[in-house]
Amino acid sequence: IWWLDPELTYGNAKPFVFTQGHSVCNRSFFPCFDTPAVKCTYSATVKAPAGIQVLMSATQSTYLEEEGVYQFYMEYPVPAYLVALVAGDLIHADIGPRSRVWAEPCLLPTAISKLSGMVERWLSAAESLYGPYIWGRYDIVFLPPSFPIVAMENPCLTFIISSILESDEFLIIDVIHEVAHSWFGNAVTNATWEEMWLSEGLATYAQRRITTETYGAAFTCLETAFRLDALHRQMKLLGEDNPVSKLQVKLEPGVNPSNLMNLFTYEKGYCFVYYLSQLCGDPRHFDSFLRAYIEKYKFTSVVAQDLLDSFLNFFPELKEQCVESKAGLEFERWLNATGPPLAEPDLSQGSSLTRPVENLFKIWTTEPLDSAAAASSADLTKWRTFQTVLFLDRLLDGSPLPHAVIKKLSECYSSQLDSMNAEIRIRWLQIVVRNDYYPDLYKVRRFLENQMSRMYTIPLYEDLCTGTLKSFALEIFYQTQNQLHPNLRKTIQQILSQGLNPLPAIDTTAVTTDTPAMVLEDKVSEATNGAISLRDVNVSA
């Protein structure tokens, strides 16, 4: 349960509280069987001061104004981690026939402008693929920057960090990922935390089917290329034989399941699901299977064998071909082998968007630098966000760069990037820091002075403290610490005190779906391995 003073909200007017249950945090909220294997309905009575709006992940709600009492009821069985509450200075606007957005008054116009009409479009696309949306309403609440992850798929009421509002393409992907969880994760849930890929891998696959239907294959392939880049980056950091790269990861006693949340859960899981879809020959045939799978198992929890047995029974011709035992691509190997996915999707349909990135990266990394070609290279203002972050991530991977290259990059792009969203700016600023490029350091200070979000502060402080700029980081922190949530403040203090890259376990909150800014995009734990930057793992829940 996160309690925020008014100063930690956007409006600075009223206190705020929210819960984050994934994966095993709701045992501190109410007595429960805190396992995804157990589902139940719930009801709740909440009393709040006048002027404080209370919301929960429930299908029904009433408010008795004279008593200041809210009543909530979730009529469908859900696992404990999907019970969620938020209360604060929140107002709403309808953005579709079954959707509304909730936000602080100063943020509501932006939320409306970004999402009006869009959520219904995504819900309709999902229904055409996977069957009826069973939860009634699909509302969204935007939370203050202290929200520890990007997004959380609480049924009927998706939680999303407000910081992502300025990054349109990331917002789209994050919301669609949480929409996909309405079928994969919420309706049908992984019975054990050791198989989180059953929710995240399937939701990621469904998310990309939805984006293909609504935005085209090229955009989907671009976003997938960006995520798979991050997966391979994380693999280099962890090592190919690391047991956390398994889909069926072993959960040892006393280990927080959130610590097992990483890009393998999402992207290796996605690659396995994509491989299954390719065995069918036509993704629409696989869509039909997934509809049947949802209908069979909705409101229950499953293990991997349930999914795979259902798949083979739905496609008896594949069962006859023994596809589950195909050499090198055995289902058992997909589940229990460490390392990269056994097969990755064909992303050639995205070449119109990825090829310009590859060409530009080659110009800037070919020695000696062709200054004329660099100066006349792409106008990043005309690129999609995912193109720009893919380009910057690859430059970041290659840092430190030759001084002449970073100087020329700044001349060509720094002013362009200043006006772009935070997902782009933080990557450029990480390049500045990792290359000790002092002329642009003032932009790092300015960025950190205006950020209160974990996903936009931790990566920069990590980089500042692993290089030669620790004193600069200390100076900024002492000036800004009062605007940071105590948990975030403590994390940064530990980074500053150790000068390494720790991401200590301040609490057990999972970091979505789902949904990076990736992010890491979903539910990467705050207690991730120290050597891995949040840039490499941020995914939505």
178 has catalytic annotation: yes
Backbone angles phi, psi at 46, to 5 degrees: -130, 125
Smallest CA-to-CA distance from 200 within 216, 186, 214, 185 is with 185
pLDDT band of residue 532 (cuts 50, 70, 90) is very low
22 is in an annotated binding site: no
- Left (φ > 0), alpha (ψ -120 to 50) or beta: where does 185 sit? left
526 has catalytic annotation: no
Distance CA 20, CA 151 (A): 10
78-99 pLDDT, tens digit each: 999 999 999 999 999 999 999 9
Q: Is the pLDDT of residue 516 over 50?
A: no
The label of the residue with tokens 């309690």 reads 3
Q: Is the pLDDT of residue 412 over 70?
A: yes
The active-site residue out of 266, 274, 275, 413 is: 266
Smallest CA-to-CA distance from 58 within 40, 72, 37 is with 72
Smallest CA-to-CA distance from 434 within 409, 397, 405, 476 is with 397
Q: What is the pLDDT of residue 351?
A: 98
255-284 pLDDT, tens digit each: 899 888 899 999 999 999 999 999 999 999
Q: What's the half-sphere exposure (Cβ side, CA atoms, 13 Å) at 468?
A: 7
The label of the residue with tokens 């120290």 reads 530
Q: What is the pLDDT of residue 506?
A: 32
Q: What is the pLDDT of residue 371?
A: 87
213 is in an annotated binding site: no
Q: How many residues does the chain have?
A: 541
pLDDT band of residue 536 (cuts 50, 70, 90) is very low
Q: Which fold has domain 189-346?
A: Neutral Protease; domain 2 (1.10.390)
**Are β-strands 139-143 and 157-161 bridged in parallel, bridged antiparallel, or unpaired?**
parallel
pLDDT band of residue 503 (cuts 50, 70, 90) is very low
CB atoms within 10 A of CB 316: 9
98-110 pLDDT, tens digit each: 999 999 999 999 9
Q: What is the pLDDT of residue 329?
A: 98
Decide: helix, strand or coil at residue 39. strand
Distance CA 193, CA 332 (A): 18
Helix extents (H) in 252-330:
263, 269-279, 283-297, 304-314, 316-320
CB atoms within 10 A of CB 147: 27
Distance CA 266, CA 199 (A): 9
- Average pLDDT of the residues in 364-376: 91
CATH of 349-497, one of 1.10.287.3510, 1.25.40.320, 1.10.10.10, 3.20.10.10: 1.25.40.320
Q: For the chain, first and last CA: distance in Å?
A: 17
Q: What tokens does 331 get? A: 């289902």
* Three-state SS sequence of 74-116: EEEEEEHHHCCEEEECCEEEEEECCEEEEECCCCHHHHHHHHC
Distance CA 426, CA 447 (A): 8
Q: Where are the domains of the chain?
A: 2-182, 189-346, 349-497
Q: Using alpha carbons only, what angle is made at residue 146 by residues 145 and 151, rounded to the nearest 5 degrees?
A: 70
Fill in the DSSP letter of residue 400.
S
Residues in contact with 450: Cβ distance below 8 Å, sequence separation at least 6, in sequence order: none
194 is in an annotated binding site: no
Q: What tokens does 28 get? A: 């501190």
Backbone angles phi, psi at 114, to 5 degrees: -85, -30
Q: Is the pLDDT of residue 33 over 50?
A: yes
Q: Average per-residue pLDDT in the chain?
A: 92
The active-site residue out of 104, 178, 344, 423 is: 178
pLDDT band of residue 513 (cuts 50, 70, 90) is very low
Report CA 386 to chain centroid distance, whole Å.
14
CATH of 2-182, one of 2.170.190.11, 3.30.70.580, 3.30.2010.30, 3.30.420.40: 3.30.2010.30
Smallest CA-to-CA distance from 533 within 441, 374, 426 is with 426
